[in-house]
């Protein structure tokens, strides 16, 4: 009679196991969950790291260093591993020519040698001469200037001035930042050189973020017209701090209770944080280091919902008989249930979990003894009626 009962259970078990495997499949559980970050650079909102798009420019990005990004998974999951896809380093933008003229002291005329002639790439250089396609101030004094606008704000690293008639008259290069003109370079000694040249003096300030440059000219040494054909700027956009070279990963049962799970350098993508112990969490957090922003295109949290409903635990029993195996260092009865679930040959039908010793012992049968404090007997839920 007992044998028949066991056989019928075994057939039923096969059916249940197939069903359970489907439920316990490890999948990306972070997609479209609620994400937040310390702050946002441009359009790089936190949700773009859980939109399911790994490449193609949907990336979360902070503007501050020592930043963090967090996702609320919405429920407690068993996390197997977390894949973080950092944003690839951005190529610096192409150098920019002048897009428009914001203001100027004077121009030779509104046609030839007008201020407008400084817009765009060179029309005169490498020629040298008094040629109408360059800007020339009208007055030959030391108070001449022109203010130039570029399409994209950058941290200006280099300014190239295409001088095509009486070079050497530029006395200062300034950038517009936070409501004022900041001097990038200046000299007290202007020159008069009868050459065409690209003048790119080393800048004294390289952290000015702007799309407006001002040139100040002194024409008194040349004492004739000084002509500038074009101006080009070089610099990086977005941020002065680069994306983090290494990131740290945390998991949390709540937003206030995180545990560090590891740190990896961002050299190889994606970064795979494998949980080396049973990790049940609702929150996942990624942080950057002290002098770097966070820029991540996707965080894939690979896990599954604990199969709570498919197992039941009883404190009034403990297992008896000969164990299949004992696992040590097991953090939860849910993990113990999963180990039973994964034990196929021989088949695990019940398990005993002891919280104090973190031991999980697997059994083939349902033999029981009276329960003892701190031990629970875990069985597939289909078998619970045997014990109720
Ligand atoms: Ca994305």
Q: Tell me what pLDDT residue 307 has.
A: 54
Tell how far the Cα of 258 is from the centroid of ligand 1, in angstroms. Answer: 24
pLDDT surpassing 90 at residue 302:
yes
- The CATH class of the 27-90+241-304 domain is mainly beta
The confidence band for 190, taking pLDDT boundaries of 50, 70 and 90, is very high
Tell how far the Cα of 159 is from the centroid of ligand 1, in angstroms. Answer: 36
Tell how far the Cα of 297 is from the centroid of ligand 1, in angstroms. Answer: 4
Tell how far the Cα of 102 is from the centroid of ligand 1, in angstroms. Answer: 38
Tell how far the Cα of 236 is from the centroid of ligand 1, in angstroms. Answer: 23
Tell how far the Cα of 81 is from the centroid of ligand 1, in angstroms. Answer: 18
pLDDT surpassing 70 at residue 6:
no
Domain boundaries, the chain: 2-23+307-387, 27-90+241-304, 96-236
Fold of 96-236: Jelly Rolls (2.60.120)
Beta strands in 93-169, from DSSP E residues, in sequence order: 96-97, 100-104, 144-165
Q: Indicate the burial class of 254 (C-beta count within 10 angstroms; 0-12, 13-18, 19 or more).
A: exposed
Tell how far the Cα of 79 is from the centroid of ligand 1, in angstroms. Answer: 20
The candidate with the shortest Cα–Cα distance to 242, out of 180, 290, 179, 309, is 290
Tell how far the Cα of 275 is from the centroid of ligand 1, in angstroms. Answer: 23
pLDDT surpassing 70 at residue 309:
no
| CATH code reported for the domain at 2-23+307-387 | 3.50.4.10
Asked, colleague to colleague, whether 2-23+307-387 and 27-90+241-304 share their fold, the answer is no
Residue pLDDT, tens place only, 197-207: 999 999 998 88
Tell how far the Cα of 103 is from the centroid of ligand 1, in angstroms. Answer: 42
Bond prior to 259 in cis (omega within 30° of 0): no
Tell how far the Cα of 290 is from the centroid of ligand 1, in angstroms. Answer: 24
Tell how far the Cα of 46 is from the centroid of ligand 1, in angstroms. Answer: 9
How many angstroms separate the CA atoms of 145 and 171, rounded? 10
Q: Which residue has the higher pLDDT, 333 or 251?
A: 251
Tell how far the Cα of 296 is from the centroid of ligand 1, in angstroms. Answer: 8
Residue position matching structure tokens 């990336």: 59
What global pTM score does this model have? 0.47
């Amino acid at each position: 009679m007992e044998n028949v009962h066991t056989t019928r259970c075994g057939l039923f078990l096969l059916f249940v196991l197939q069903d359970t495997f489907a439920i316990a499949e490890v999948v990306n559980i972070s997609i479209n969950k609620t994400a937040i970050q310390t702050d946002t650079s441009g359009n790089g909102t936190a949700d773009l790291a859980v939109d399911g798009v790994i490449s193609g420019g949907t990336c979360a990005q902070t503007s501050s260093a020592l930043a963090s990004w967090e996702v609320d998974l919405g429920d407690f999951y068993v996390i197997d591993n977390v894949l973080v896809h950092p944003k690839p380093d951005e190529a610096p933008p192409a150098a920019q020519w002048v897009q428009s003229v914001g203001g100027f002291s004077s121009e030779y005329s509104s046609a030839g040698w007008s201020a407008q002639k400084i817009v765009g790439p060179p029309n005169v250089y490498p020629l040298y001469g008094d040629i109408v396609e360059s800007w020339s101030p009208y007055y030959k004094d030391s108070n001449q200037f022109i203010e130039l606008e570029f399409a994209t704000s950058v941290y200006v690293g280099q300014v190239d001035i295409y001088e095509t008639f009486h070079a050497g008259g530029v006395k200062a290069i300034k950038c517009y930042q936070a409501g004022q003109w900041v001097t990038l370079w200046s000299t007290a000694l202007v020159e008069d050189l009868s050459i065409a040249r690209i003048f790119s003096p080393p800048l004294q300030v390289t952290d000015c973020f702007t799309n407006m440059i001002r040139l100040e000219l002194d024409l008194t040494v040349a004492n004739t017209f000084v002509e500038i054909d074009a101006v080009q700027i070089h610099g990086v956009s977005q941020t002065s701090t680069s994306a983090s070279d290494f990131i740290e990963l945390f998991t949390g049962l709540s937003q206030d209770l995180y545990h560090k799970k590891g740190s990896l350098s961002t050299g190889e993508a994606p970064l795979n944080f494998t949980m080396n112990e049973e990790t049940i969490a609702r929150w996942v957090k990624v942080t950057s280091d002290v002098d770097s922003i966070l820029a991540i295109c996707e965080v894939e949290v690979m896990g599954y919902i604990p199969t709570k409903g498919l197992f039941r635990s009883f404190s009034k029993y403990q297992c008896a008989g000969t164990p299949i195996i004992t696992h040590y260092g097991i953090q939860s009865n849910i993990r113990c249930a999963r180990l039973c679930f994964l034990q196929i040959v021989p088949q695990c039908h019940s398990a005993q979990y002891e919280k104090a010793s973190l031991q999980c012992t697997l059994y083939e049968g349902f033999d029981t003894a009276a329960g003892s404090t701190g031990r629970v007997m875990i069985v597939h839920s289909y078998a619970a009626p045997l014990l109720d």
